[in-house]
Chain A
Amino acid sequence: MTDYPGSYGTGVERFQSDRLDRTMRDGDPLPSVDDQLWVRLLTGECNPNIKTLATRLIITRLRIDVANDRTVLPRAVQELRRFFTDNKFAHRDLTAITGF
């Protein structure tokens, strides 16, 4: 498995650790675009229990983009974060993704 800045441990332990280094601006329900959580999500290192079909499909599409070409990762992170910003219905998945 590839190591990314900010990733350590495996499974539940790493996911718990995510809670400690979350970078969220005041009042913003979403981790910032620089948060390594997005990288771990889009490289498949973390697999939260997502319920919403739209969220499942966009994450998978972006994971495939990133698997085929790592250079698109920053754009993929921005697109995924914008998806959550734009769509309140997807916020039901945020707890599983952010750990909060």
Chain B
Amino acid sequence: MKNALLSVEDTVALIASRAILFISGPERLLRSLPRGNWIGGTTSYFMTPDGGASREDRLFCSTFDDAVNARMAILPPDGLSGLTKHRFAHGFTCIVTPAFSTTLQRYAVDGPTLPGLYNQPVFGWVAGVHLDRVGQDAPMVFDGATGAASADGLAALWVALPETAEVDLDIVNLFVPGEGDHITFPLGGFDVTDCLVGGVPTNLARYIVERGIDTTLPLVADYAGAMINVSFQSVDAENGRVRFYAPVVPGTIYRLARTVADYGSAYAEAAREGCAADMLSCNCILNYRYAGLEGRPTGGFVGPVTFGEFAYILLNQTLSRLSVRHALAA
């Protein structure tokens, strides 16, 4: 696997070489690309070797030179079961879907129960736009094979690997649950009014405002050892409503996260066991904003900065990473 932040001309040359690619960048540049073996999604932000950067003149290209085959499509909101049906016997799947779309909402809620979802890695992210243009520009995804673009589909790239290849998909989450009360929800979803705080029925929005809680920190749940975040999008105390960037799940215990002391050091520590620059990775725009990652390296991880991440399921404020390793032939 190779990663590079490229000009349009260099990306076109890569596509012409029949490379299999996952591309991120501004819509104008993605629309200018020729047909080929690629999918893409919009973003204006990247993790580069020199640190986080906003670029309107570059495309981030991940090239899967380990692949022995690939296929791609844009799945509609009611066709998400195709995600697991179309995959190869051995390989992984890349996905990208637009922020604020029906498809994202549906995958966030129904994706975790797709039959066989956890049998093969599913890596991806949520397409976004420049933060100055949220609400004006629409996040988009692209299927390079057909030239199709969509503001409400899920672009999927199914990659076949040789049997000697082993794929590892994991997350780097700098947040851990804090010491505060545990919070549970009687109903799931992106929009919440009522919850139980330490077992006591509470309106979450008013609880947050009254306590002066820092909503740049997510709620965190322990998924059998994996720390899974749900990030705050808005808190409306007047109407008693909280909106999240991912759905909360009934039956799950959440706590407000503990503050992270030093993002840069924490990413460097997470990257210690492998060559992060050779991994497929993405990081969250909320980490980019709240941790001031612009111009600051993230432990060697490179890739798009996104409006949500996928490692099988939708994630928030998390770095998702996939690596391919080849077993030595006997």
Contact = CB atoms under 8 A, between A and B. Distances in A.
Partners in one complex: yes
A51 B224 CA distance: 9
Interface in B278-325: 311-313
B224 A50 contact: yes
Contacts, number: 53
Query: Mostly helix, strand, loop or mixed at chain B's interface?
Result: mixed
B95 interface: no
The 9 closest A-B pairs by CB, nearest first: A60-B223, A54-B118, A56-B224, A56-B226, A64-B251, A67-B251, A58-B118, A59-B224, A68-B251
B171 interface: yes
Contacts of B135: none
Interface residues of A, number: 21
Interface of B: 112-113, 116, 118-119, 121, 166, 169-171, 223-226, 249-252, 311-313
Contact of B119 (A53, A60, A61, A86): A86
Contacts of A87: 118-119
Contacts of A71: none
26 contacts: A47-B224, A50-B225, A54-B312, A55-B224, A56-B224, A56-B226, A57-B223, A57-B224, A57-B226, A57-B312, A57-B313, A59-B224, A60-B223, A60-B224, A60-B252, A61-B112, A61-B113, A63-B251, A64-B250, A67-B251, A68-B250, A83-B118, A86-B119, A87-B118, A87-B119, A89-B166
Contacts of B223: 56-57, 60
A1 to B, nearest CB: 15
A58 to B, nearest CB: 5
B32 to A, nearest CB: 36
A49 interface: yes
Contacts of A86: 116, 119
B188 to A, nearest CB: 10
Interface of A: 47, 49-51, 53-61, 63-64, 67-68, 83, 86-87, 89
Contact of B112 (A47, A53, A57, A89): A57
A57 B251 contact: no
Chain A CB within 10 Å, residue with most, of B116, B171, B225, B312? B225
A63 B253 CA distance: 12
Nearest to B121: A54
A83 B118 CA distance: 8
A87 to B, nearest CB: 6
B226 A53 contact: yes
A53 B311 contact: yes
A49 B170 CA distance: 16
Given A47-B224, A86-B119, A53 B169 contact: yes
A83 B120 CA distance: 11
